C-alpha cells in the first residue's frame, strides 16, 4: 500500500522540491543574520523562515528550494561552521 499524499504535496509541481534546515544557534542579537548571511552567500532561495527562542538558544527553521544533495551538504557544512551555530540538521520537506 502506497503512502498517502497531502493536498499541498499533491498540488506541488514535481520540480518544486524543498529542503528544510533546522539550525540551533546561540540566542544573540546577530545569530539570525549570521545564518541568513550564510544562506545568502550560498545563493539559497528562501521560501519560509521561522525563528524562536528555545531555552538558552535560538531555533531557526529555513525552508529552501532544493538545489541538489551536494549543495545541501555544502550549505549545512557552512552553517555548522558559523560562529553562533551549535547544530544543523536538514532533510526534505
Query: What pLDDT digit, counting tens, does each position of 53-85 carry?
Result: 998 899 999 999 999 999 999 999 999 999 999
Pairing of strands 18-26, 57-65: antiparallel
Looking at residue 22, what is its pLDDT? 97
Q: Is residue 5 part of a domain?
A: no
Q: Is residue 9 part of a domain?
A: no
Q: Is residue 7 part of a domain?
A: no
Residue 42 exposure: Cα atoms within 13 Å on the Cβ side: 24
pTM: 0.80
For the domain that residue 49 is a member of, what is the CATH number?
A: 3.30.70.260
Looking at residue 50, what is its pLDDT? 97
Q: Is residue 2 part of a domain?
A: no
Q: Is residue 70 part of a domain?
A: yes
How many domains are contained in the chain?
Answer: 1
| Cα distance between residue 93 and residue 30, in whole Å | 27
Q: Is residue 28 part of a domain?
A: yes
Q: Please give the residue range of the domain that contains residue 36.
A: 17-92
Q: Is residue 75 part of a domain?
A: yes
Amino acid at each position: 500500500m502506497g503512502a498517502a499524499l497531502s493536498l499541498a504535496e499533491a498540488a506541488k509541481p514535481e520540480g518544486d522540491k524543498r529542503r528544510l534546515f533546522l539550525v540551533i544557534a546561540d540566542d544573540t542579537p546577530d545569530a539570525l543574520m549570521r545564518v541568513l548571511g550564510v544562506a545568502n552567500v550560498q545563493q539559497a532561495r528562501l521560501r519560509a523562515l521561522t525563528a524562536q527562542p528555545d531555552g538558552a538558544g535560538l531555533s531557526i527553521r529555513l525552508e529552501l528550494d532544493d538545489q541538489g544533495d551536494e549543495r545541501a551538504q555544502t550549505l549545512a557544512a557552512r552553517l555548522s561552521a558559523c560562529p553562533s551555530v551549535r547544530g544543523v540538521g536538514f532533510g526534505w520537506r
